[in-house]
Structure formats: C-alpha cells, structure tokens
Structure 1
C-alpha cells in the first residue's frame, strides 16, 4: 500500500513575491481554480495582513474553490492571526500557517531574543490560532540552519500546543540533500508526539538543490511538500511542483502517491507563466520547450526506434499534445479556442474575439504560430483599459545613420505626437515617448526574449522603470522588438499613472 504525500502549493504566496509577478484578484482565482483541477491538496493563497489586495484575494479564492484546503500565512503575531481568520471566513477547509525564525542567526539578529523566548512565542501563536481553526501549520523559519536538538524542542512544544503540520523550511537553500534528509530523519525519531503531526518540506533553490532536498525529505518521512508551479519564488525560486510529481510517478519503487493529475501540468505551467509574465526557461525539466526535444543524431535515431531509449516520461503524461493543431492565418476561432484551452486559458466569447483579431495580425506576419505567441496574445488584452496607448511608431535607423523615432500616443482618447533622435532605435523611441510623458523616469532594467528562433518571431520585452523612488514593471510583446520595447515602457507608465489619478 502506497503512502499519501500532500501537495501544498504556494505559487500564490511565495511564488508571487517575485518582482513583477504580482497578480490581481481575478488572475489569482484563475490560478487557484487550475490548481484545484491539478489536484493540489493545499493552496497557500496569500499573506493577508500584508495588503488589502492579499486579504481580498484570499476571501475570493475561498469562495471560488471547493475541496482544497485554503491556507493563510501569518507571523507569530496575534493581529496577523486575527486578519487571517477573517480572510478565511468563506473557506470550506481552512488552515492558518504561523511561525517564527528558529536559527541562532534569526534569533539574535532578527528578533534580538533568545531560544527560550522564541519557543514561548511559537507556542503562544499556535495556541491562539488553534482557538479559531482546527488545522494549524507551524513553520520554523531557517530550519535548514537551525541546530537539530533545539529544532526538535521547538517542534515538540508546538505539536503539544496543537500544531497539525510542522514545516521545516530550508529558507536560504543552503542544505545539502543528505544533510536535509538527515534533519527530517532526526526529527521523525526524536520529536515526542511527531505522529500527531505531518512533517512538511519547504526548500528554496539558491544552490540548485530544492528538488533534491525535497525528495530527500520525503524519503526520510516528510509527507507534505511545499512547492510552486515552474519553481517560481523568492530569489532563485522554490521546489517545482511538476518535478516532484513526475519523480514520484516515474519512480514507482518509492511507493508514495499524490492527488496530482499530471496531464494538467503543462497547461497549468503555461497559464502561470503567461499571467505572471515569467518565461519558462527552454531547458526547464518537465515543462521547458526543450524538455522533450532531441537534436543529437544519436538521440533522434534512438527515439525514432523506441521512445524509452531517451524519454523516461511520455509527453502526454504531463499534458503535452505532440500532435497539436498547427495554427496559421487560415485557422478559425474554434481552433484558436481549442489551443487556448489546451494551454489552460478559457476566454469569454468577447475576450476570444479580441485575441482572435490580434492573432490574425500576427499570423499574417509569421509562418507558424507557437504556444508562447498564443499565450502572449491571451495576455495582451490587459492593455485595453490602459489610459495611455501607443497610436503609431515610425523609426529611421541604419549603419552610419543617426536613429530618429516619431511616435503618437493616445492619452485618455486625446492624441499627442513627438519625435527624437537617439543612440539606436529603441533609445530614440523612448526619448520621443518621454517628450510626451514629462516625468523623470529612470530605466533600471531592460530584457528582451525571443520566443523561438525565427527572424519573424514575436519578442517579449520586460522593463523596470524607477519613478518617484518606486519601481514599476512593464511588459510588451510584438514581432517588432522596437514596438515591444515602447509598449513595455508604456505599461510601466500606465501603472504609476494609475496611482496618480
């Protein structure tokens, strides 16, 4: 008989802490519903005391999903817990996730405290949370660098206080797999009452070992894993849900099962990537563009003879349709809607019409439309309600010729025009834009990503602009990379212009 491993997804909390990846409430509900279809057991929906947006999102997500447990994060502070309780009022199954740092570094420098006081605060927070919900998870922040004997004392105290799950975060991604596995094993063997709680892993990827550490923890007794779609998260990210699910599916000798419907992995991955404007690296395990691609002649020969020679996973098992409909300028709405559905996007009729109109424009310029192009188009309608829009752009550029750009903007329906020269076409276009938008803005980051390899490909531009001591993130996509750059800059402007209104 197989053991059950609970999947705790923190895409909407830890994953959303990535700069530029913030979602609105409607988008968070879309992700939460997809996580429910994927088979996630627990959805950590946010940190409600941190902002009204997080608080409201937890309320709406609680209404939108049915069977997963909805979890709200708190510090070991009564007000945090009070706000979490209020945010979970509509959840069918609710959990409060409270905790405190336990490493000597956190105790000394973060809390200016001592080990005894930390245990007291931990116990008090669990007892307080237990007054409102039955399911209380305790996290020992920086457990990866916490002395095992002291960590065992903390866990023993919080389990006695009523914790139903105890979380062992490798907060800095420092542990080696053997070290982290040994820590879990030690706790399983030395914490009195451990059988009354589920031991959970929460591993970060700073040294590229999040998945290895998580699996090591599972093999040594952990029965909950805290993961994110595509491994997104603070700094280098978290353990990737898709990697853990497919490791267990591939290694049947482990005899540990999850509720994950693996065929939903790829569409969920693409949807999260699109909504968060967070590209999936081509060589990403399981969901990367090259995960099932074979370029070596020897590999191709083997795969053609038998897939198992070089593929340990059937692409269909993760939801990749290797016989997908090819989209061209002759494709109709039905074909586009089908492909969007496969990618996890279910647009309304009105939204589909808007996407289809843009799709035809791109299809006329490109021979092949790939999944990334479609997802960019599906997210492009976010600019429809922008106050500032690009009306036209014309650029003169070449070798030995100074680049000059002229552009027109529509601002709340009124047209404005400007022209400027610059050190290259993008610089000229942005200088012209700044003449109209008379603000002191500093471009802090500028990233271009080609979605495939064709010269007619659609490019994505991510920008980071500083204005009034605040950072704003923008995104643009176009087959013309200069236009994409201007659109990304305008996206940044719309964000602070919306605040100024």
Structure 2
C-alpha cells in the first residue's frame, strides 16, 4: 500500500510501566454492563428507531438482563426527550434498573437534560468533553487548561441541577477521545472532575475511559486503563468504566484486557452496532466469559429470538459468521470437522463429562438456544462421511457401518457438487433410500422358507425378467444359505460379506434395518440396506440390494468398455 509514511501512532503510552494485568489468566466475574444501544447504536442507524421501536428495544434489553441502559441524549432531539419522559411517566423502568443519559459539558444542554429527568427513580448523568490532542488543536483550538475548564464547569453544573431536580442521580464523566490523549493530561482532567464531585462509598462516581477511536493494539489500551486505575483519586469510590469502539476490529479484545487491567464496567451494544465499525459487542464479551465458566449475568439462552427482534427494530443484519449469534458459526461443512464433532458428541453420550470439550465447538450450542440438528453439521460438496453419517443417525436413526458411510459420503458429495448447493437432511435421506435401500432390480427378492437341520436349507423365490424362480441352497445360517443361492444359481461371484443390523424407529412403525457389504472379485465393495418389520427379511433385502448394485455396476462397466471398443 502507498502513502504509509502519512500515518503515525497517535496514541500515548503511560509514563510508567503498567503491566500487572498481564499476570491474570482470565476474567473472574462479570462487570457492570451498560447497554448503549439506544444512544450509540440508534444514532448509527440509517433510519433511527421511532419512539415505539425504542420502547420495544428497551423492553428487550430488560429481558436480556441489563441493569444499566443509556436511553439517549434527551437535549439533542424531541424524540429522545419524549422517549425518556415516556419511560418515567409510564413507570416503565424497573426499580433495580438505572437509566443513563448523555450530555455535553454545556450548561443549557445540562439544564435541558435534568428537565427531562424529573421524577426518575435513578439515573446516571453522563458528562463528556473531548480531550485528545487532535480535538484540542483542530476542533476546539483550546489549551489544556481551557479543556479542563470545560470539564470543571460541566461538573459543577451537574451538581447544581441535580440538587434542584426531583430524582436520584449518579454522575459519570468521560474524557472523550481518551485514546488520543496524553495519559497525564487525561488523569488530570478526571481528577479535577472528581475533586468537584467528591465521590463517597454511598455516592460513587463513574469514570468512563472510551476508546472513542480505537488507535492502538489492545495491550496498549490495557496499560492505559491500568495506569488510570492506579492513579485516580478516590479510587475506592470510583467505578472505572470502558467504552471501546471497534475501528481496528479489536473492540472485544480491548474490553477484555481492560477488565484485566481494572475496568469494572463496560459500555457496549448488542452485536456491536454503532458508529463506523461499531461499539464493542456485549453478546460476544458475555458469552466469551460463559465459555470460561463465568456467569456473565446476562441472558442469551434464546439468542435467535433476540436476533430476530434486533434485526426487526434496527433494520440491521447479524452476519452469518458473527460470533455466537451468526447463523453459520456452529456449522461445520468440512469433512474432518464434521467427523470430529460427531465423534465428540458420541463420546459425551457414552460417558459422564463434567466439562464441555467437543472439538470445534467452543460452547454447547443448546445453551444459547441453538439446535444440533440443522445447526452443527450441514452438508455440501466439502463434507465428509462422518458428518453425512451423523445426519442420517440423528434425523433418521440410521447407523451405517463405517465403510458404508464412506461409500455413501462420496455419493452425497457428488450430488452436492453437481447441483452446486447445500443438501438438506431430507435430500440426504432420499439419496440413501434411492441408492441403497430395498433395491429390487434386476433380481427381486420375493420370499423365502427354510428348514433347520445340520445346515440351514433355504428355498428363496426371485423374480427376474418378469418371471419368478425358486432356488434351494444351504449354508451355516439363513443369510449364508441365500447368499450361496445367489452365487451358485445366478453365477454371481463375491466375497467378504459384511453384515450389521439394528432396530429402527421411523414414525409409528417399529422396523429393523440391516446393512450388507460384499466385495466383487475385482476388489470393489458394494453396499445395500434392507428395511422391514422382520429382522431376517431386512437382512435378505440388504443382501439383494448389495448384489443388485454390484450387477448394475458390472453391467455399466461392461457397456462402457464395449462402447470404447466400438469407437
């Protein structure tokens, strides 16, 4: 890429080393979550939500379990003002839920904000002003002291109007564009605000450190957060919050490392909606914690319903590969992946497993409302025998022998490749029934009867070319006797007969299913399946199916050779 020299690293490392967070292995408890879907998320929509849609979205956030919800910037528009008033006047805010509102550090905006908050049970009033070098120099053209004064005036105004307004209020301050601010200056601004608010154990203040623009690798952000956590005044009475954006695609990593570094609270959105590349995705963050055995204190057990509501109200789409929520994230098309998943699921069924360790599946899809059937293993031309066999077993109770799975797998993949499409379970089942089950041409099994003596003597009726013939054979069992009939009377040669059977339940009929594999004299293996209410009859039908497939294959090969010779 050209013009790389025009870019520099616009972030600032802490003046002292801040690396204690590197000694921690994982996050041990859920942070306080604050949804900013109705502010950051809503302002990023092509068509912002209406009042009614915002009320619906607010209800969904309550059902997910959020206890802090930023509901908007009430001084910015009539819709946001009306939305907050509707929540308060219609008593729609549960007692254990705190709403949050945003305000710039300008007195008339602060005044309008508190006007909208009259009578609220509990609210966080979120004050911000920008502190970065770029904003100071290019946008505001103000000195450091002038930027501090903006924050200080705003902090004083919050105290003033909170004292004059009916309601319960908690204060929050954000040095906006924190990641582009010198750490010493960011610390000074925050401490000056804290000095005004005088946080106490029963009146804690939130200091929010946003990656308004993600500018560094996540470990730098973590070091910045740790520096601030170590040096903020009144630290025991300060709730340290982060608000990562996703410009570099590292929003989740930024938030996770920030929590290791001392952040106690995270602001974000469902599925990462927000300006530019979005806010940090709280769904991913929460379920990441869940995958480590830590309760995130949010409810995503019905993630499909949440996605449906989210897409309806935002007119946005959750991408198929979005972590946890995407339609395809638990789906394996690859043959080796499918085989490992199928064996892992079988391993769990056969033993008592304390922990979830299925290959390729970070969490159990059922824990978030996803189903094994149709979600995990789906079939296309890249799929393998394990996945295809898994589909037949899970959906239809057909437990094919391993070698037969391989044989059938090639047939299914060839169909998918030829049609250039994914195959549904019903289509896979139809292929199996058509190609393997109860094949009756060119030799159709009609019936058999046997007499047990030193050897099983069996009479079998076969229809060929429209005529029924009866043949008698002997063997060390009924199936062996019929096999001998086919080889001697019909002059069909094969060896190494493989047999498997099991009970089969399809609908209300209890059936038996048998599988037979035979090896032709040229070494090719042919498989057949028989299904019948009688287990012995199903085994005979399986044998006839395998023999018929061998006869047909041999005839095709003969016809092809004759055609080539003629040419």
TM-score bucket (shorter structure): 0.5 to 0.7
Q: CA deviation at 1:61?
A: 3.1
Who is 1:205 aligned against? 246
Q: 2:68 matched to which residue of 1?
A: 42
Q: 1:22 to 1:124 in 2, by over 3 A?
A: same
CA positional deviation for 1:89 = 2.5
What is the aligned partner in structure 1 of residue 318 from structure 2? 280
Question: Does 1:267 find its partner at 2:317?
Answer: no
Counterpart contact for 1:229–1:269, Cα < 8 Å: no
- Deviation of residue 91 (structure 1)? 3.0
Q: What residue is the counterpart of 2:21 in the other structure?
A: none
Q: 1:258 to 1:128 in 2, by over 3 A?
A: farther
Work out the CA distance in 2 between the residues paired with 1:266 and 1:126: 42
1:168 corresponds in structure 2 to 209
In the other structure, the counterpart of 2:479 is: none
Measured in 1, the distance between the counterparts of 2:81 and 2:43 equals 15
Structure 1's unaligned 5+ residue stretches are 325-367, 369-501
TM-score, normalised on structure 2? 0.55
Per-residue CA deviations over 1:119-145 (Å, capped at 9, x if unaligned) read 222122123213415301111111011
| Structure 1 residues 128 and 4, CA gap change in structure 2 (3 angstroms) | farther
Q: Provide the rounded CA distance (Å) in 1 between the counterparts of 2:299 and 2:45.
A: 30
Instruction: Count residues with an aligned counterpart.
Output: 324
Comparing 82-91 with 216-225, which one deviates more in the overlay? 82-91
Instruction: Report the CA distance shift for 1:266/1:219 in structure 2 as closer, same or farther (over 3 A).
Output: farther
- Tell me the distance in 2 between the aligned counterparts of 1:19 and 1:41: 24
Cα distance, 1:302 vs. partner?
1.4
Structure 2 match to 1:195: 236
The Cα shift of 1:244 comes to 0.8
Equivalent of 2:151, from 122, 135, 138? 122
Measure the CA separation in 2 of the matches of 1:101 and 1:27. 31
Report the alpha carbon displacement of residue 323 of structure 1 after superposing the two structures with TM.
Answer: 6.2
CA–CA distance in structure 1, aligned partners of residues 159 and 370 of structure 2: 43
Residue 108 of structure 2 corresponds to 79
Q: CA deviation at 1:47?
A: 1.0
Distance in structure 1 (CA, Å) of the matches to 2:87 and 2:331? 37
* TM-score, normalised with respect to structure 1: 0.61
Q: 1:198 to 1:264 in 2, by over 3 A?
A: farther
Render the CA deviation track for 1:70-93: whole Å, top value 9, x for unaligned.
Answer: 111110011221222122224322
Determine the C-alpha separation between the residues in 2 that align with 1:271 and 1:286.
16
1:11 to 37, 47, 50: 37
Alignment of 1:102-141 (within 5 A): 102-131=131-160, 132=162, 133-141=168-176
Question: In the aligned structure 2, how far is the partner of 1:185 from the partner of 1:235?
Answer: 27
User: 1:430-457 deviations in whole A, cap 9, x for unaligned?
Assistant: xxxxxxxxxxxxxxxxxxxxxxxxxxxx
User: How far off is 1:262 after superposition?
Assistant: 2.7
Q: Which residue of 1 aligns with 2:192?
A: 157
**1:307-337 superposed Cα distances (whole Å, 9 cap, x missing partner):** 511111122322335569xxxxxxxxxxxxx
1:309 alignment partner in structure 2: 359
Is the contact made by 1:45 and 1:61 (CA closer than 8 Å) also made in structure 2? no
TM-fit CA distance, 1:229: 0.8
In the TM superposition, residue 146 of structure 1 has moved relative to its aligned partner by 0.8
Larger Rg: 2
1:198, 1:224 within 8 Å by CA — same for their partners in 2? yes
After TM superposition, the structure 1 stretch with the greater mean CA deviation from structure 2, 20-29 or 158-167, is: 158-167
Instruction: Identify if the C-alpha distance between structure 1 residues 190 and 282 changes in structure 2 by more than 3 Å, giving closer, same or farther.
Output: same
Secondary structure of the residue aligned to 2:175 is strand
Distance 1:278 1:182, change over 3 A: same
Residues 48, 54 of structure 1: 8 Å contact kept: yes
Q: Is the 8 A contact 2:122 2:169 kept in 1?
A: no
1:159 alignment partner, SS class: helix
In structure 2, relative to structure 1, the CA distance for the partners of 1:258 and 1:175 (3 Å cut) is same
Alignment partner of 2:82 out of 56, 68, 75? 56
Kept in 2: contact 1:38–1:265 (CA 8 A)? no
- Alignment match of 1:95 (pick from 124, 138, 150): 124
Q: Structure 1 residues 273 and 183 mapped into 2: Cα distance closer, same or farther (>3 Å)?
A: same
Runs of 4+ with deviation above 6 angstroms: none
Partner of 1:279: helix, strand, or coil? coil
**Preserved CA contact (<8 Å) 1:100 1:141:** yes
Question: How far does residue 306 in structure 1 lie from its aligned partner after superposition?
Answer: 1.8
CA deviation after TM superposition for structure 1 residue 68, in Å: 1.8
Paired residue for 1:289, among 307, 312, 327?
327
